[in-house]
Amino acid sequence: AQSVAQPEDQVNVAEGNPLTVKCTYSVSGNPYLFWYVQYPNRGLQFLLKYITGDNLVKGSYGFEAEFNKSQTSFHLKKPSALVSDSALYFCAVRDANNAGNMLTFGGGTRLMVKP
C-alpha cells in the first residue's frame, strides 16, 4: 500500500523568508510525486510533479521540490514567501509500477505567511 506523511499540520513563516513544507512517502515501486495547493472553498490546483530525471523540480508560482530517494522525501520549497501563498498544501504519491492510477494524498499542511 502507498502512503504519504505530512508531519506538520501548520507552517508559519514571515513574508520574504524561505519556506519548506515537508513530505515523506512510501510506495512499493518507483514513486510519482506531486504537490497540490488548495485555497479556501476551492478545488486542488496542481503545483508540480516528479516523474523522473532531475531531483529538483520547479513548478508554478515559484515553488520547487526536491526528490530524495534515500530519505523517501519530497519537500516543497520556495525561496521567498508571499502572503498570497497562504493556503493548504497537499503532497501526493502514485506507484509507477501499479496499473491503477490512484493518487494517495497526505493529510495536508496549512501554510500561513505573515506580513
Partner 1 sequence: NAGVMQNPRHLVRRRGQEARLRCSPMKGHSHVYWYRQLPEEGLKFMVYLQKENIIDESGMPKERFSAEFPKEGPSILRIQQVVRGDSAAYFCASSPANYYEAFFGQGTRLTVV
Q: Using CB under 8 A as the criterion, which residues of the chain lie in contact with partner 1 when the complex forms?
A: 6, 32, 34, 36, 41-46, 49, 51, 90, 94, 100-108
**Cβ closer to partner 1: 41 or 70?**
41
**Cβ closer to partner 1: 9 or 115?**
9
> Residue 100 corresponds to which cell in the numbers above?
491503477
Give the Cα separation of 47 and 62 in Å (integer).
Answer: 10
Closest approach of Cβ 49 to partner 1, in Å? Answer: 5
Closest approach of Cβ 92 to partner 1, in Å? Answer: 8
Nearest to 60 by CA among 52, 68, 49: 49
Which residues are CB-contacts of 53 (< 8 A; sequence separation ≥ 6)? Answer: none
